[in-house]
Amino acid sequence: MDISVVNALTYEEFVNLFGNVVEKCPIISAAIWSHRPFKDLADIEAHIMGFIHSLPDSGKEGILRCHPDLAGRDLQSGTLTRESQEEQSQAGMTTLDSAEIQHMYRLNSKYKERFGFPFVICARLNNKADIVRQLNERLKNDRAAERERAIEEVKNICSLRLNNIVLSDIQTKL
């Protein structure tokens, strides 16, 4: 996507296009819109990461709470965002059998009880075995370490989603 096109977007168009690069947090894209003109996509990403980094711990946890449980209620009911649906599908989370779903439910519940926010991992960079393994491992972290680890995963998700927007636009033009 040509950066001049991005810089020419209205506020509403910008938020609509970039509003879910951080799951269910359009406030972030709304907040960075005023930093236009952006030099390139990396500049947009840097502003998003800077915004996230500047948040107090409670704000970071708020971002984490916007994420759905992997293989959870939103997936089962069909209420995931389009992006989360695609990411969970690529990781194999949409094809779990009933025993695997129950296992994920127990792990997700244990995790949320321990940390107060859902387990976040960049599903596109993992498969279901990796996800289960990391969920078990990360349950051993203390809250501060896990919050920072989860925020790093949010940043990975955001980066991939930003790149996906650009690639989708390029493919449309071909």
Q: What is the pLDDT of residue 174?
A: 46
Looking at residue 30, its amino acid is: A
Q: What is the pLDDT of residue 166?
A: 78
Given 47, 53, 67, 103, the catalytic residue: 67
Is 21 exposed, middle or buried, given 0-12, 13-18 or 19+ CB atoms closer than 10 A?
buried
Question: pLDDT tens digits, residue range 72-88?
Answer: 999 989 999 999 999 99
Catalytic residue list contains 67: yes
**Tens-level pLDDT at each residue, the chain (174 residues):** 889 999 999 999 999 999 999 999 999 999 999 999 999 999 999 999 999 999 999 999 999 999 999 999 999 899 999 999 999 999 999 999 999 999 999 999 999 999 999 999 999 999 999 999 999 999 999 999 999 999 999 999 999 999 999 765 544 454
Q: What is the pLDDT of residue 167?
A: 65
CATH of domain 68-169: 1.10.3330.10
H-assigned helices in the chain: 3-8, 11-18, 26-32, 41-54, 57-65, 73-77, 82-90, 98-115, 128-138, 143-173
All structural domains of the chain with their residue ranges = 3-62, 68-169
| Residue 25: φ, ψ to 5° | -130, 60
Q: What is the pLDDT of residue 37?
A: 97
Q: Which residues of 112-151 are buried (b: 16+ CB within 10 A; e: fewer)?
A: eebbebbbbbbbbebebeebbeebeebeeeeeeebbeebb
